[in-house]
Chains A and B, each alone.
Chain A
Amino acid sequence: MSDPIIELQDTKLHYKIGNAVSAMMGLSTTVKAVDGVSFSLHKGESVGLLGESGCGKTSMGRILVRLEEITGGSARFEGDEIGDLKGTDLQRFRSRSQMIFQNPFDAVNPRYSIRKTLEEPLANAKISRSTWHQRVIDALDLVGLGDPEQFLERYPHQLSGGQLQRVVMARALILEPDFVVADEPVSMLDVSVRAGVLNVFRDVRDRLGLTAIYISHDLALVRYVCERTIVMYLGKIMEDGPTEDIVHDPLHPYSQALVAAVPTPHVDQSHDPLPIGGSAPDPRNPPSGCVFRDRCPMAQLRCADEVPQPRRIGTRLVACHFVSV
């Protein structure tokens, strides 16, 4: 196999928060948003990052496009440490890796026309002005906004949510990146337009051979776009493997809960209570041992003392002391 395009080794992103008072109160002032994550991505691979709110998905994505500097471990892009990139290398990296944000209405400047929205990255990357018009048209065409001319002079509020999310995608793609992080790109959209945006995402990715990370809390959406899924909880990887295997036979107790929680459009779906209650604990004071233990239905004494290391089980890596084949 080719060398990985993205390579993370024990990567950490600890945010410092609070003040002297919270320190005195014994509340740790560090949020371990990403806490020792390792995985690699090969060219053309699409991986879903799955987990509840606050488990570190967006933070992970922000590291990969260098919107955050890691506080430990290593994060490489084509072999180069992302945090060490400078000058033209950094500029090149910025155009080759892009992020698509959750809410299309927050992601654009409401006073910029669609044309200006799309020209901005071209200007930042110092692309020759004579090519702008064609590139803008091509990018809109790529995301299925056929007849692009009719959109150029419009403003964001004059587009539907689905159309605007496509513009946001076009902006991410206009510099022809190799790597894209899409952070819940359809969560703000109506069900009836979601399908269109997801199809465009799949289609463009395949046509351009993009490497992609798709962030969501909903395994049904991840399954539609990614062959591989990484399940995160409190900044750590719980399970990593082929999406279909996780859908049909989730191994980690947390993955099992996420699978059970996915809503389906059938009246005869299970109404059994979820295997876990509550929500993720305060990330300033994560539990000792396995971070999932205070919600885990299978937890035992050992889980409080020992951090489970990821182990290979068949096609997957699973971080749990008690999962076996």
Chain B
Amino acid sequence: MDAPLLSVKDVSIAYKVGALDIVAVSNARFDVPQGSIVGLVGESGCGKTTMARALTRVIADNARIAAGQMQFAGQDIVSLSEKDMNSLRWRDIAFIPQSAMNSLDPVYRVEYQIVEVLRDRGGMSKSTARKRAVELFEMVGIDPGRLRDFPHQFSGGMRQRAAIALALALEPKLVVADEPVTALDVIIQRQILDQLRSLQRELGLSVIMVTHDISVVAYICDRTVVMYAGKVVEDCDTATLLNEPLHPYAMGLKNAFPDLHSAGTGILTPIAGSPPDLANPPHGCRFAARCPFATDQCRVEEPALTEDAPGHFVACHRAAEAVALREEAKQPGTWGTAA
């Protein structure tokens, strides 16, 4: 197998808040194979955005990459000089922020903003940059006649497409998209996912897709990394995650999701409780307080992320019993009452 395009190794990222250190990502480890789409899923606050932003090193002022390496095409993003990092951004790694609104400046026409990136980062002449902007709009399915519009004249879906166009401007190798379809209706959502995938195939891109929606992952991602309270808890190909998850959190997520293709509407089962306070994480497994399968061992000893089968990583003491636990997890009674 080829070397992965990106290899995240034991990365920890902390926010300083007063005297406290909030470790939003702790010992994260995962690979992004060349030319694949990798999902990064988990509930709000689990550290997805923090992890994703760290890949471009555009992080909050109070944030710090405290440990680990991020090997990208032979170099370590963590130890690159600011100057080298700057030439990597846009050209090799492009980031689409959580709210596409924020990636476009409301006071400038969309064309100007794309042309600026192309000239400034790509060293293109003005006329070449203009031609490229037209190409980019055609590529993401917006009428190039709309290039002269201001961002507020675009619908939510168009703004998201424009943000994708901007990210693709300099033909990066890796695109990191933070919740690119979360606020959009099902039709636009589907159109954007289809667009992203066909571009990914045409251009041989790799994509990291941050989302809390497992149907998005099911639709588009080759592999999926599940995060919980700052930790990677499972990492495998998407089909395996959906059909034969090893981690109880992944088992629980499936029951919580309405499925239009199921025979009846059944009953959805939430995962009761909420994630732990990252300023003061519990000993042992971070999911233990909500896990229906927690044992005494789970509450004292933290499970390590291990390779259970080739390419399938999981952090759970009871992974070996997964077949039986999956059966139990299907019973609504297993998950207690709503929280």
Contact = CB atoms under 8 A, between A and B. Distances in A.
A306 B190 CA distance: 31
B184 to A, nearest CB: 7
A265 B270 contact: no
Interface string A213-232: 00001111101100000000
A269 B218 contact: yes
A289 interface: no
A323 interface: no
Given A191-B43, A195-B257, 11 more contacts: A191-B256, A194-B256, A195-B269, A224-B268, A261-B187, A263-B190, A267-B239, A269-B218, A274-B191, A279-B157, A279-B187
Contacts of A192: 43, 212, 252-253, 256, 270-271
Contacts of B259: 220, 264-266
Nearest to A160: B274
B242 interface: yes
A247 B338 contact: no
A53 interface: yes
Nearest to A267: B239
Given A273-B194, A276-B187, A279-B155, A264 B267 contact: no
Interface in A267-283: 267, 269, 271, 273-274, 276-277, 279
B219 A263 contact: yes
A94 B218 CA distance: 43
User: Which of the four size classes fits the interface of chain A?
Assistant: 35 or more
A52 B270 contact: no
Contacts of B238: 267
Contact of B261 (A198, A199, A266): A266
A187 B216 CA distance: 14
Contacts of A259: 260
B254 A261 contact: no
A199 B338 contact: yes
A257 interface: yes
A267 B218 contact: yes
Interface residues of B, number: 47
Interface string B95-130: 000000000000000000000000000000000000
A184 B157 CA distance: 18
Contacts of A279: 155, 157, 187-188
A175 B3 CA distance: 62
Contacts of B271: 192
Given A160-B274, A267-B242, A198 B218 contact: no
3 tightest A-B CB contacts, nearest first: A263-B215, A195-B268, A196-B270
B186 A218 contact: yes
Interface of A: 52-54, 144, 160-162, 187, 190-196, 198-200, 217-221, 223-224, 247, 257-259, 261-267, 269, 271, 273-274, 276-277, 279
A258 B184 CA distance: 13
Contacts of A194: 256, 268, 270
A52 B256 contact: no
B200 interface: no
Nearest to A260: B190
Contacts of A262: 186, 260
Given A192-B256, A194-B256, A53 B155 contact: yes
B156 interface: yes
Nearest to A52: B185
Interface of B: 43-44, 155-157, 183-191, 194, 212-216, 218-219, 238-239, 242-243, 252-261, 265, 267-272, 274, 337-339
Contacts of A261: 186-187, 189-190
Contacts of B188: 52-53, 279
B108 to A, nearest CB: 23
B44 A190 contact: yes
B185 A217 contact: yes
Given A191-B257, A192-B253, A223-B260, A277 B218 contact: no
Contacts of B242: 265-267
B270 A199 contact: yes
B260 A264 contact: yes
Contact of B186 (A217, A247, A269): A217
A257 B78 CA distance: 46
B155 to A, nearest CB: 6
B258 A224 contact: yes
Contacts of A217: 185-187
A324 B155 CA distance: 35
B7 to A, nearest CB: 25
7 contacts: A160-B44, A190-B44, A195-B270, A196-B338, A196-B339, A198-B258, A261-B187
B339 A269 contact: no
A193 B189 CA distance: 21
A294 to B, nearest CB: 14
Given A161-B44, A279-B155, A265 B215 contact: yes
B268 A199 contact: yes
Contacts of A52: 185-188
Nearest to A54: B155
The listed residue with most A CB atoms (<10 A of its CB), out of B190, B212, B258, B271, is: B258
